[in-house]
Amino acid sequence: MSNYKDLAKVVLKEHEQVLMAVDENEVEKLLDAIAEAKCIQVFGMGRMKCAVRAFVMRLMHMGFDAHVVYDTTCPNIGPGDLLIVNAACTTVGYTVMQFANKLGAKIVAITANPNSKAAKLCDFTVNLKGQVHGGRDYEIPSIQPMAALFEQTIFVFEDIIIQLLMKKLNITSEQMAKRHTNLDGYMDFNVEDE
C-alpha cells in the first residue's frame, strides 16, 4: 500500500479503533485524579515523551502544577501527588513507578497492557489498546512500524482529556491562553498593525 490517501484512511481507522475502545469509567477516574492532585508529573520515553510534553504544557495552561519527569524543574513527589506514565512499557518507566510508589504518590499508567508488572504498581490504569510491541492479543494491530499507533493515539487521547478537564473544571480557552508563554510572540505574530 503506497498510495497516500489509502494509507491515511487506514491510519485514521486505526486511531478510531483505539480511541473508541477506551473505557469511559477509566477516563473519569483519570479526570478525578488529575483534578485532585497537588502536583502532576508525567513520564514517557522516546516518541512517547512528545505527547508527555504536549500534555504537561496544556495542564500548565489550565493552572495545574504539572511537570515532565526528569526535567530540571521537576520537583520531588509524594503523598497527594500524581504520576502519569505514558505506555509503562520500559524498564526505566518501571523504576520511576517504583520510586513514586515508595514515596506515596498516586500512580496511573495509560497503557496497552493493563496486566503488566508495571500496571500492578498503579492505583488504576487507562487501557489504550494501540500496538506497542506487535503480535500481542491485547493490542489493536497496526500497519505502522513498532509503537507508532500508540504514540500517535496517546497524543490525541491526552488532548481529549484536556478538553474534558476544561468542561469539568469550567476552564476556558481564553483563560488558558493567558498562561501561555509571552516570550515567543505567539499572540502578536503576523497580526497586522492597526
Residue 88 · residue 61 · CB < 8 Å? no
Query: Cα–Cα distance between 44 and 36 in angstroms, integer?
Result: 22
> Which residue(s) pair with 40 in the sheet?
66, 82
Query: Which amino acid is residue 165, in one-letter code?
Result: L
In the numeric block, which cell numbers belong to residue 1? 500500500
14 as an active site residue: the answer is: no
List, edge to edge, every strand of the sheet that includes 106-111. 66-68, 40-43, 82-86, 106-111, 124-127
In the numeric block, which cell numbers belong to residue 126? 487507562
Of the residues 14, 139, 151, 158, which is catalytic?
151
Residue 129 · residue 123 · CB < 8 Å? no
Residue 134 · residue 111 · CB < 8 Å? no
Query: Cα–Cα distance between 77 and 92 in angstroms, integer?
Result: 17
Backbone angles phi, psi at 51, to 5 degrees: -65, -40
Residues that are catalytic:
151
